[in-house]
Every structure is written in C-alpha cells, then in structure tokens.
Structure 1
Amino acid sequence: MKDENNNDVNDEDVKKQTPTATRHIILIRHGQYNLNGETDEEKYLTDLGRKQADLTGGRLKELDFPYTRLVSSTMTRAIETCDLIHKFLPDLTVERNDLLREGAPIPPEPPVGHWRPEVYQFHRDGQRIEAAFRQFIHRATPEQKTDSYEIIVCHANVIRYFVCRALQFPPDGWLRLSLAHASLTWITVRPSGRVSLRCYGDSGFMEPNKVTYS
C-alpha cells in the first residue's frame, strides 16, 4: 500500500491509525429557567426546571449506558441542570467548558420571530460555537478502543447548530428546530465518520404538563 506521497505503508500501521470505536454524544438542554433575569446569575432554574433536570437524570440512569464523560456550559442554568443530573451518575467527574455557552451561531434563514441579535453577536459567538462543534462532535481517535457515551449539558442554540452541522444540513436552518427543556438529543459518530441522529429533543419520559419550551 502507498501513502499520498507514494511511499510504502505497512498494513499493520494502517490498522493502528484507523478508528474502531463509536462515539455517542448525548446533548441535554438545560431545564426551564427564570426568563426575567437580567444577568446570568439571575437566570437560574425554576422549580419546574429543577424537576425536569431530575427527570432527565433519572432517564439517563435508567438507560444505563457506560457513560464516560459529563460536561456542561459555564452558564448558571446549565451548571444547575448538570449538577442535578450528576446526582444520578455520581461516578462521573463533572467538567465545565466556556465554548458551550449560549449564543448566536449563525444568521438564521429565514429570520424568525422577534429574536434579532446584533450582527456583531454572530461574529462573536459564531466562531466560539463552531469551535465547540469541532471539539465535541468528531469520530473517535485510533487510541480509543471501546465505545464512549458522553453527556453534554448546554443550550438550545448550541444543540440545534450542532445537529445541523453534524448531519451536513445547511447550518443557517438551525432556528427552525424547536427543543424542549431538559430534552435528550443523541448523536452517534461511527469510526468511518458517518453521523446519525438517534433522537432529537426527546422528552417522552416526562409527563406532558412538565414539558416546556422557550
């Protein structure tokens, strides 16, 4: 076998450099929060939001996957949601990541509703959210020998953008997707790099009167 420079390549070396594990990324939107808050600290979970996070934690425990990671945005509502989920999965170490903070990833097409951030927000947030996508949504490295199940607690805009990018859909369509609080979105990345969406915005484990959107 030859490489791109026409040099001989050993078949065993190729096998060592080929991924064999599948990555499962479970994206959780934070629970319902105080919409009247002006600062991040004031946008804490409501009582219902805390209940939603508990239900999500219970659902993840019930699924009983061999979880390998639990990471959240550094915003208050995501941290609180993550910490409530962590109570159901105490063996995991909690990580925080600033790249996962809520923002305006890309100008939506068509523009929807009253949400019209200033153009500078897309320049400020877009690169960061794209960097988050590249950091978290990718196939396994060759060194990873077993399948992984990672939980990421973040925000609706981030998740919707991730889904569009991962499925190679036009990313400017992200705002057309709706997402319930504390819902589960499950992306699978095969060793080949092929991506599939196992579920999007699953909230079927909650009673109907506990499902909310904003």
Structure 2
Amino acid sequence: MVAWKNLRKLSSLAVGTGAGLTVYFYKRLRHSDSIVQNSWVFSEIPLDKVGKWDTNWDYRDPKSCVTPIKDDTPQEKNRYNNELDKMSVKATRHIVLVRHGQFLDVGEHDKDHHLTELGRLQAKYTGKRLQELAIKWDEIIVSTMTRAQETSEIIFKEIEYEPQKVKYCDFLREGVPISPDTPLLKWRVFKMRCLQDHARIEAAFTRYIHRASPEQNHDSYTLIVAHANVIRYIVCRALQLSPETWLRLNINHGSITWLTINPSGNVSLQHLGESGYMPKNCLTSHLPRDVKK
C-alpha cells in the first residue's frame, strides 16, 4: 500500500514537471526572436526598441546633416564624403553641473532666498575642488536665481575665470521638469508648475547639452551652476533614461555632476552629485528643518 502511494506521488511529480518543461520550452520557442539580451543576463524580457541608444539624440549626427547620396556616380560619392567629413565632430565636450549651496526658502520672492552660512561654506569647498582640478573653462553659465548667483560668486573667488564672461540664463531656473513616476506628496500643487516649467527646462537641455560643433578642434569644458531638479532632469535626458525618473536621483548642495559627450555622440556620466571633498558635517541635500516658512 505504501509503495503504491509513493508510486502515485512520483507519477504526479513527473507529470507536473513534464508539463512545466513543456510550457517553458514552448515560451522559449515562441519568443526566441524577440528576446535581445546579453549572454550573462538571465531575463526573458525583450529589449524595447525605445530602450536602444539613439545616435542622433541631439540632431547633430553628421549623416543627418548631409544630403544623402542621390546616385552611384563617383562625383556624387565624393560630394557626400566631403560634406560628411566637414560635418564630422573631432572634439569632446565636458559639462560640469554644480548645484547651489544650502539656502533659506523664506519670503515670497526669489531675492529673499539667500544662502545660509553653511551654503556659503559648501560653495567655497566646491570652488576649491574645481580649482584643484585645474580646468581651463571655455564657458560658464549660471541660473538667474539668487542662490545660484551667490554660489557662483563664491566659486569665482577660487577658480581662474573672468567674471565678465559669465552668462546668465533664465532657462536654468529651478522648476518641476516633468511629471515624475514617483508621485510628489504635493503633486496637485506642482502639476501646474510642471506645465509651465517643462518647456523651459527642456530648452535648457537642448541649448547646452549636445556634442561639439564640427569647427571645434579642442576638447572643451563648460561649467553650469544650477539647481537639483534641473540637473537631475538633464542627467536622465543625456543618458537617454526615462526623464520621468528624475525624482529618484538625489544630489547634495554644492555637489558636482560631470557629463562627457564624445564626438560619436555617446554620453558618459563621470560623477553624479560628487561631494566627497566636503567634511561630513557640510553634507546636506534638503532645506534646513529648523526654519519655519
């Protein structure tokens, strides 16, 4: 009797396992053409075409800037190759984004939002760090908001750059760049701001984040002093990640974020919110909790 029960259990197990294997191999055969993955990844989720890198993300890919070949004649091929060579990018762009220091969000107007003493100290540490890197800046752009301008003024005392060459841009002002996939607690309040801010911040991305021009012969370094939401959105867009994920990133006050754009159009993130050059007691990312609005 016991032997018969054990036999029934083994039979059921065999049937169940066989059915499971049948379903597994059926799915593998059915979806084998749609599965695109690395050999070391054990996921059957197909790679969406949207997830592939767009080489012409900044609309500056040389092939997109040249009239296509019209025929197979040698003259036409020479014309195409010459134009393509003229539009080819030779230099690399380094874009360093700095978040302003800690500030007091009191008062109704931006002019009242000054840096705290800690925020000024953070900006000084950031300036010293940038000076240590010994970078020769080709361009510096600063948000027109008070806290960003105060941060830049402190940084200018530490680095070698002529303040009169600095550019100030309204596009870089803080805002809500896009509806986040992680809802904000006060999303209803920010929803209208999102409608207003998205086009502006996207315009900032289009204006400043792109590969070098064909005329540029040397690698360049651009410093941008801006705000957390703007920087987080720019990073997501530059890496071709879903821009709705910007709220998942957190960067400290006075931190350095470094993007590199190669001639091919490939973008790499060298640093995200680097602030290790500051003492532990200077690291903050949110407004002071002991301040009442």
What is the TM-score when the length of structure 1 is the normalising length?
0.94
**Which deviates further from its counterpart, 156-165 or 28-37?**
28-37
CA distance in 2, matches of 1:28, 1:116: 29
Following superposition, the deviation at residue 115 of structure 1 comes to 5.6
- May I ask how many residue pairs the two structures share in their alignment? 213
1:13 aligns to what? 83
The one-letter amino acid of 2:176's match is A
1:197 aligns to what? 269
The one-letter amino acid of 2:277's match is F
CA distance in 2, matches of 1:163, 1:169: 8
Measured on the aligned residues, the alpha-carbon RMSD in Å equals: 1.6
Following superposition, the deviation at residue 66 of structure 1 comes to 2.1
More strand by share: 1
The one-letter amino acid of 1:95's match is K
Unaligned runs of 5+ in 2: 1-65, 287-293
1:94 aligns to what? 166
More helix by share: 2
Q: Which residue of 18, 40, 51 maps to 2:121?
A: 51
2:237 aligns to what? 165
1:148 aligns to what? 220
Following superposition, the deviation at residue 212 of structure 1 comes to 0.5
The one-letter amino acid of 1:39's match is H
CA distance in 1, matches of 2:68, 2:83: 15
**Which deviates further from its counterpart, 197-206 or 112-121?**
112-121
The one-letter amino acid of 2:234's match is F
Following superposition, the deviation at residue 160 of structure 1 comes to 0.3
SS in 1 for 2:90: coil
CA distance in 2, matches of 1:72, 1:175: 22
Does 2:91 align with 1:24? no
2:149 aligns to what? 79
1:177 aligns to what? 249
- Cα deviation per residue 1:140-196 (whole Å; 9 max; x = unaligned)? 000111001110000000000000000111100101111100000000001111000
CA contact (8 A) 2:142 2:148 kept: yes
1:120 aligns to what? 192
Give the percent of matched residue pairs that are identical in Structure 1 and Structure 2: 48
CA contact (8 A) 1:23 1:190 kept: yes
CA distance in 2, matches of 1:5, 1:118: 49
CA contact (8 A) 2:128 2:159 kept: no
**Which deviates further from its counterpart, 81-90 or 138-147?**
81-90
CA distance in 1, matches of 2:160, 2:135: 14
CA distance in 2, matches of 1:121, 1:142: 37
Q: Which has the greater radius of gyration?
A: 2
CA distance in 2, matches of 1:176, 1:210: 22
SS in 1 for 2:278: coil
Cα distance change of structure 1 residues 106 and 52 upon mapping to structure 2, 3 Å threshold = same
2:4 aligns to what? none
Cα distance change of structure 1 residues 135 and 84 upon mapping to structure 2, 3 Å threshold = same
Q: Which structure's relative contact order is higher, taking Cα pairs within 8 Å and 6+ residues apart?
A: 1
SS in 2 for 1:117: helix
**Which deviates further from its counterpart, 3-12 or 81-90?**
3-12
CA distance in 1, matches of 2:186, 2:194: 16
Unaligned runs of 5+ in 1: none
2:133 aligns to what? 63
CA contact (8 A) 1:86 1:94 kept: no
CA distance in 2, matches of 1:98, 1:42: 18
Following superposition, the deviation at residue 15 of structure 1 comes to 1.8
**Which deviates further from its counterpart, 13-22 or 69-78?**
13-22
2:180 aligns to what? 108
Following superposition, the deviation at residue 87 of structure 1 comes to 1.4
CA contact (8 A) 2:137 2:221 kept: yes
